Amino acid sequence: PPVGDLGGLTVLITAGGTREPIDPVRYISNRSSGKMGYSLAGAAFNRGARVILITTPTSLEPPPGVDVVRVETALEMHDAVMNRYAEADVVIKAAAVADYRPRLKAEQKIKKEGDTLTLELEKNPDILFDLGINKMEGVTLVGFAAETENLIENAREKVRKKNLDLLVANDVTLPGAGFGTDTNIAKLIYPDGSIVSLPLMDKPALANRILDEVIAIRSNHS
Ligand code: C5P
CATH of the domain at 184: 3.40.50.10300
C-alpha to C-alpha distance for 195 and 193, rounded to whole angstroms: 7
Among protein residues, the one whose CA lies closest to atom 9 of ligand 1: 144
- Average pLDDT value for residue range 41-66: 98
**Those residues with Cβ within 8 angstroms of residue 152's Cβ, 6 or more apart along the chain or in another chain:** 169, 187, 189, 195
* Within a domain: 108: no
* Within a domain: 3: no
* Within a domain: 106: no
* Within a domain: 113: no
CB atoms < 10 A from the CB of 55, how many?
A: 25
* Within a domain: 196: yes
* Residue 1 pLDDT greater than 90, yes or no: no
Residue 157 Cβ inside 6 Å of ligand 1? The answer reads: no
User: Picking from 33-42, 102-111, 121-130, 169-178, which range would have the lowest pLDDT averaged per residue?
Assistant: 169-178
Q: Residue 222's pLDDT is what? A: 67
Question: What percentage of residues in the chain have a pLDDT greater than 90?
Answer: 88
* Within a domain: 15: yes
- Cα torsion 179, 185, 190, 192: sign: negative
Catalytic residue flag (residue 150): no
* Within a domain: 72: yes
Contact assessment for residue 193 and residue 157, using Cβ atoms and an 8 Å cutoff: no
* Residue 201 pLDDT greater than 70, yes or no: yes
The atom number, within ligand 1, closest to the CA of 81 reads 20
Q: Mean pLDDT across the chain, nearest whole number? A: 95
The answer to whether the pTM exceeds 0.80 is yes
* Residue 147 pLDDT greater than 70, yes or no: yes
- Average pLDDT value for residue range 215-220: 95
Give the chain's largest Cα–Cα span.
62
Residue 187 Cβ inside 6 Å of ligand 1? The answer reads: no
* Residue 144 pLDDT greater than 90, yes or no: yes
Total number of domains in the chain: 1
Question: Among 54, 76, 84, 97, which residue has the most ligand 1 atoms within 8 Å of its CB, making it the best to mutate?
Answer: 97
Q: Residue 221's pLDDT is what? A: 80
Contact assessment for residue 99 and residue 123, using Cβ atoms and an 8 Å cutoff: yes
CB atoms < 10 A from the CB of 180, how many?
A: 10
Range of the domain at 212: 10-100+118-221
Question: Cα 68–31–172 angle (5° rounding)?
Answer: 115
Residue 128 Cβ inside 6 Å of ligand 1? The answer reads: yes
| pLDDT tens by residue, 88-136 | 999 999 999 999 999 999 999 999 999 999 999 999 999 999 999 999 9
Q: Residue 171's pLDDT is what? A: 86
Pick the closest to residue 127 from 193, 74, 83 (CA basis).
74
- Cα torsion 61, 66, 69, 72: sign: negative
* Within a domain: 112: no
